[in-house]
């Protein structure tokens, strides 16, 4: 069964939302409606489904309606029209009591600016959801401690939120959402307020957690890299409408329209990544004293068909192919005479996009060289991996 189903949801902010819906039906754009009536179209005719255990990312720039969208799932904002089913029940039609129960039992939420209660300790923050349900103090403290442990904050339970760093505060936010034991996590730009290193750490940890917990996650972000990294599927929003839903691969390789294409191009990894970030350590390098037999054996071991040759100072001398090495053995001559020089040399700070065509044409690895020294090699696989995984992952290796 689908965990969340969103059907024909529209939100108009303004004095006469019904009229706004009418105008939308007539095909007017967001800007035209704003100009004509002064009303803002928050979300227009959104339709999507989220499977149980799926990591669903909604991505869009500010003003795209993504924050409004996520707030309609737990009805912090009421939709103007449309239906939203949580476990098959339409949350839009629930009365106050049902809504409160659904929020308590089924929906956890994590906020961009953490939204912790500053007057409560970390533990009291985490147990808040259970407290409002009337769970006994002992039990709720036990559950809160468990979820604090899950996010790695054991020992901080009696601190006040303002004594913690941003990353730790957001862990409290996450623990608070987990403590209820709800299946669905709504995460509104949960990592956007964190600095890049902490953000990456939190992303990794969330992915690890998700492996274990298998929650249904709806995650909002304005960052395509984050969306690609986290999402099983991604919905891209623009001007209140969802323009494409697909897996990260589909979004990258098959953008639904020009807007998505521009977006994908804007964060084109090939322009961001440098040669030094995707190169790998040269697998094996025969020093000058190694004879052709050693070179041949190393190539055989590593399963490669060519190897770079450097001298004692790591200065690049040339490339030895397996054929040449065998020839040298047969003729019992110095390796030097058989070195190939028609490989491609590049500097460490060359953008990746300049290397893509080279990598496609050359039959040898690209040598990354600085001051004549061989720093690393780039093969076609490294370029593809770099494009798919991104800068941080490559650096992490």
Give me the residues that bind another protein (CB under 8 A), please.
Answer: 71, 74, 76, 100-105, 107-109, 111-119, 128-129, 131-133, 176, 180, 186
Residue with tokens 């006469």: 16
CB of 164 to another protein, least distance (A): 16
CB of 118 to another protein, least distance (A): 7
Of 166, 130, 129, 173, the residue nearest 151 (C-alpha):
173
CB of 127 to another protein, least distance (A): 10
CA-CA distances (angstroms) from residue 199 to 30, 157, 328? 33, 22, 53
Of 9, 16, 65, the residue nearest 37 (C-alpha):
16
Q: Which one, 76 or 322, has the nearer CB to another protein?
A: 76
CB of 173 to another protein, least distance (A): 8
Residues 6+ apart with CB under 8 A from 107: 73, 74, 86, 182, 184, 186
| Number of residues that make up the chain | 397
Q: Which one, 102 or 321, has the nearer CB to another protein?
A: 102
CB of 113 to another protein, least distance (A): 5
Give dist(CA 110, CA 241) in Å, integer.
23
Do 57 and 234 meet the contact criterion of CB atoms below 8 Å apart?
Answer: yes
Q: Which one, 180 or 306, has the nearer CB to another protein?
A: 180
CB of 42 to another protein, least distance (A): 15
Q: Which one, 132 or 384, has the nearer CB to another protein?
A: 132
Q: Which one, 128 or 308, has the nearer CB to another protein?
A: 128
Q: How many CB atoms lie within 10 A of CB 181?
A: 13
Q: Which one, 151 or 273, has the nearer CB to another protein?
A: 151
> Tokens representing 141?
């403290």
């Amino acid at each position: 069964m689908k965990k969340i189903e969103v059907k024909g949801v529209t939100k108009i902010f303004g004095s006469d939302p019904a009229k706004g819906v009418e105008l939308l039906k007539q095909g007017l754009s967001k800007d035209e409606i704003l100009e004509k009536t002064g009303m803002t179209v928050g979300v227009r005719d959104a339709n999507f489904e989220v499977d149980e255990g799926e990591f669903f990312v909604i991505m869009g720039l500010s003003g795209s309606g993504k924050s409004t969208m996520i707030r309609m799932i737990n009805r912090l904002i009421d939709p103007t029209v449309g239906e939203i089913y949580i476990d098959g029940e339409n949350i839009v039609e629930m009365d106050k009591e049902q809504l409160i129960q659904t929020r308590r039992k089924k929906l956890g939420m994590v906020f961009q600016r953490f939204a912790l209660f500053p007057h409560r300790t970390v533990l009291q923050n985490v147990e808040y959801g259970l407290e409002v349900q009337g769970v006994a103090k002992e039990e709720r403290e036990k559950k809160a401690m468990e979820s604090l442990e899950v996010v790695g904050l054991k020992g901080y339970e009696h601190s006040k939120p303002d004594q913690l760093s941003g990353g730790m505060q957001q862990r409290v936010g996450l623990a608070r959402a987990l403590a209820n034991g709800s299946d669905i996590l709504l995460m509104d730009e949960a990592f956007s307020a964190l600095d890049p290193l902490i953000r990456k750490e939190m992303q990794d940890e969330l992915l690890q957690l998700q492996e274990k917990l298998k929650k249904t996650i709806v995650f909002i972000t304005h960052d395509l890299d984050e969306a690609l990294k986290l999402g099983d599927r991604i919905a891209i929003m623009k001007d209140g409408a969802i323009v494409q839903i697909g897996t990260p691969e589909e979004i990258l390789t098959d953008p639904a329209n020009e807007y998505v294409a521009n977006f994908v191009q804007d964060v084109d990894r090939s322009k961001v990544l440098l040669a030094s970030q995707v190169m790998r350590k040269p697998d094996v390098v025969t020093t000058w004293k190694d004879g052709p037999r050693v070179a041949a054996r190393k190539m055989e071991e590593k399963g490669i068909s060519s190897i770079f040759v450097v001298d004692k100072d790591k200065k690049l001398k040339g490339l030895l192919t397996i054929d040449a090495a065998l020839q040298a053995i047969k003729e019992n001559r110095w390796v030097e005479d058989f070195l190939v020089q028609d490989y491609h040399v590049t500097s460490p700070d060359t953008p990746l996009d300049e290397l893509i065509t080279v990598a496609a044409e050359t039959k040898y690895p690209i040598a990354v060289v600085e001051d004549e020294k061989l720093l690393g090699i780039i093969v076609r696989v490294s370029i593809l991996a770099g494009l798919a995984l991104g800068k941080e992952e490559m650096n992490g290796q």
